[in-house]
């Protein structure tokens, strides 16, 4: 019965779109709303902070990445339309973004470590609900001004130490992304589904934000020993998730 029900549904290239390719009414209302009082340093009088989830453009961007990296056999099995049609549809959706950038950027299995520089480690929001609870959380928030200042500082130090590639490149891209949004905006880093993969002890002992910010401070003071020590701690913590990804 389930299989027959799926056959009766018109094929859609992207989630959140109608059969004719236009965004469905529900997709246009998919937003995350934050109270500015829940963002450290934010002006509580600016009103609610609204973040469109950008389901269609984020899916379009992921589709472009899939076309570029997937094995041809997997690509042919997953997509029945011509590649030119798929690329054109994805490009059309992405070009319709009013700000020129999606409001939410996501990665799988891990967090790009340079992202942690945007936040003060002690501002972490940790909720140790049951493993599969939707309220289980590990996240940080910052004002746009604070995030941009912290990224700029980290970029200068990373570029002068490691060159323009690696961490500096991630920080440069992050700074460019932040520039698309209003100065009164807030930035959030949320572990999302990773909190279901990590037990309470692992989440409590996670020092990633502290480690990354300690590395930035150590680069400024020239403390190579601290840089190496903190990098090793990050490698140990995120290495376990990398192993899970390889076996999944």
| pLDDT, tens digit, 9 for 90 and up, residues 24-53 | 666 666 788 999 999 999 999 988 999 888
CA-angle at 153, arms to 150 and 155, nearest 5°: 105
Q: Are strands 186-190 and 125-127 parallel, antiparallel or unpaired?
A: unpaired
* Interior/surface letters 133-150, b for 16+ CB within 10 angstroms, e for the rest: eeebbbbbbbbbebbbeb
The token pair at 30 is 């998919």
Instruction: Write out pLDDT tens, residues 142-194.
Output: 999 999 999 999 999 999 999 999 999 999 999 999 999 999 999 999 999 99
Backbone angles phi, psi at 82, to 5 degrees: -65, 150
Residue entry with tokens 């990398």: 242
Pairwise CA distance, residues 148 & 121, whole Å: 16
1 pLDDT more than 90: no
Which run of H or of E encompasses 126?
strand 125-127
pLDDT of 23 over the 90 cut: no
Find the mean pLDDT for residues 8-12.
63
Nearest to 41 by CA among 107, 118, 108: 118
Q: What is the pLDDT confidence band of residue 227, given thresholds at 50, 70 and 90? A: very high
Write down the pLDDT at residue 239.
Answer: 87
Token pair 């020590």 in the structure block, residue: 229
**% of residues, the chain, pLDDT over 90:** 55
237, with CB counted inside 10 A (0-12, 13-18, 19+), is middle
Q: So what's the pLDDT on residue 169?
A: 96
For residues 225 and 209, what is the distance between their CA atoms, to the nearest angstrom? 18
With H, G, I as helix, E, B as strand and everything else as coil, classify residue 222: coil
pLDDT digits (tens, 9 = 90+) for 67-125: 888 888 888 888 878 888 888 888 888 887 776 678 888 888 889 999 999 999 999 99
CB 99 within 8 A of CB 181: yes
């Amino acid at each position: 019965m389930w299989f027959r029900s799926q056959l009766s549904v018109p094929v859609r290239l992207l989630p959140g779109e109608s059969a004719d390719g236009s965004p469905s009414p529900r997709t246009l209302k998919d937003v995350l709303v934050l109270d500015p009082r829940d963002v450290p340093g934010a002006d509580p009088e600016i009103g609610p902070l609204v973040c469109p989830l950008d389901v269609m453009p984020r899916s379009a961007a992921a589709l472009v990445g899939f076309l570029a990296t997937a094995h041809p056999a997997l690509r042919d099995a997953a997509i029945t339309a011509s590649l030119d049609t798929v690329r054109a549809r994805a490009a059309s959706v992405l070009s319709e973004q009013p700000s020129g950038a999606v409001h939410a950027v996501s990665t799988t299995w891990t967090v790009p470590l340079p992202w942690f520089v945007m936040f003060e480690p002690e501002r972490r929001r940790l909720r140790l609900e049951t493993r599969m609870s939707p309220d289980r959380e590990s996240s940080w928030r910052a004002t746009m001004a604070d995030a941009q200042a912290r990224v700029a500082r980290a970029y200068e130090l990373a570029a002068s130490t490691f060159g323009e590639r690696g961490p500096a490149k991630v920080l440069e891209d992050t700074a460019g992304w932040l520039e698309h949004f209003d100065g009164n905006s807030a930035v959030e880093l949320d572990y999302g589904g990773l909190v279901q993969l990590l037990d309470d002890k692992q989440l409590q002992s996670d020092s990633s934000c502290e480690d990354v910010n300690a590395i930035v401070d150590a680069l400024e003071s020239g403390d190579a020993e601290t840089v190496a020590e903190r990098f090793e701690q990050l490698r140990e913590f995120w290495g376990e998730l990398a192993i899970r990804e390889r076996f999944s």
